[in-house]
Amino acid sequence: MHACATVSFSTESDSESSSLRSSPLFQETEEDDRAALLKACLHLVREGGWSAEVLIEGAKEAGLEGQEAELFPNGPGDLVNMFEQRCNKKLFRYMEKQKDSG
């Protein structure tokens, strides 16, 4: 058996890392990753429910394996929240269209 070591190549200080994470580009990329993970999980939810297992499997399918805890720190609850927010936005847009059309 071979032993594996985790190596960090980061040379950023904590403040530099924090400022990078708050940058608009980082937030946009993170939001894209969250959306991709949600999309990958939706078909799995039918069988597995809103579970940690579904979140992990969805991350594998989305090519984001190992990032699910960073993208959804509160686990499946965050995933459900994102899904609900997206549904509410779609409903709001639909209602606005109906209101505007008469």
HEC letters along the chain? CCCCCCCCCCCCCHHHHHHHHCCHHHHHHHHHHHHHHHHHHHHHHHHHCCCHHHHHHHHHHCCCCCCHHHHCCCCHHHHHHHHHHHHHHHHHHHHHHHHHCC
- Cα separation, 39 vs 37, in Å, equals 5
- Could you tell me the two tokens for 5? 């070591």
What is the full per-residue pLDDT of the chain (102 aa) written as tens digits? 333 333 232 333 444 444 544 566 556 788 999 999 999 999 999 999 999 999 999 999 999 999 999 999 999 999 999 999 999 999 999 999 998 886
- Write down the pTM of the prediction: 0.69
> By the 8 A CB rule, do 62 and 38 touch?
no
